[in-house]
Structure 1
Amino acid sequence: MSDGLNEYRTARVAELLADFRTLQYHIAAAPCNPPNMDDYYTEGWAALRQCALDGQHILNCAADVTVPSAAGGPDEQAKAELKQVHLDAYARRHEGQKIYLRQAAAQRWIEWRDQILAGGRPHPGNQAQLRAVDQQLRDELAAITDEFVYADLQASDMSMGRWTAEDPSLRAVQRWLRSRRR
């Protein structure tokens, strides 16, 4: 017998996919190459290029459509399929948010670096400041963990009054992500 929650499951998947789509737009819109190609291999620009690659990868990786046959008829089969799609959408949104936060950190790095350089180029007089913003970027990127992203998205969903009763665990999300690594 059906539990009557497939409507909620469907709505939740739609929310997650809409969130992921929005994240993809932001990820795709971020710059990847510096105006001055001498800066191409600097930490922030390298991070932005990696984010663009990661964003393309999470968009292109195939969905896991293997759903075991569920006993109990079509409603139970729909439930099983929705749960599988829910995990896929949730994990994609999670990874998209992680990429987006990494991009935002790299873009802040660009702003800080531009302020230090003030239209000039790196020189011995600004090396200490540039090293400090490089370290700030490394610290920010290190803070963007799966645990942080998961808790942040969970808090956001709850504050918006979204149905989260069957959201996958962090471990399930991490398993999904590992299964899609290159």
Structure 2
Amino acid sequence: MIVALGSNLPGGYRDVPALLEAALEAFPAHGLSVAARSGWWRSAAWPDPAMPAYTNGVVLVETALSVRETLLQLHEIEAAFGRTRHRANAPRTLDLDLIAHGRAVIGEGGLQVPHPRAHERRFVMGPLADVAPRWRHPVSGASAANLAVTATVGKDAARIPSPACREKVAPKGSDEGSASG
């Protein structure tokens, strides 16, 4: 599975990257194992660049949970980090989006996989291309590397230096960077 992380409010942490690191540390307690991760990227808030800038990243996750159960666990992690859902595109402490689950295409009961707008967002596709450049969108067939170049939202998104985020681990049982799961 591919999960995107984002935040533009540090909550009680020293900064947004520290909050995102803490969120990743919470994954195992929710049945989610991080197999690979991107570095952090920064971009202006969208659609209102006057709001605080966002820090984003992508992780490849291994889990025995179903897609729906995974989404529920992601929402629980968001809530534990102070996420509230008052209005769309509002500043937030933590945003966890389920981007894809293998080649699955699901559109039922409030669940849409792959994420319906991820392919348009450089702040998602850029980090995904870092960790899995050969991943292919289940609907369009375009690679993460190509989508990172053609994305129209968040064109200013760029990697930020963060030594703790440069570690990458290949998913078990797959080619490094294929992001098949």
TM range (shorter): under 0.3
> Greater CA radius of gyration, 1 or 2?
1
Larger proportion of strand: 2
Please report the TM-score for the alignment, with normalisation by the length of structure 1.
0.23
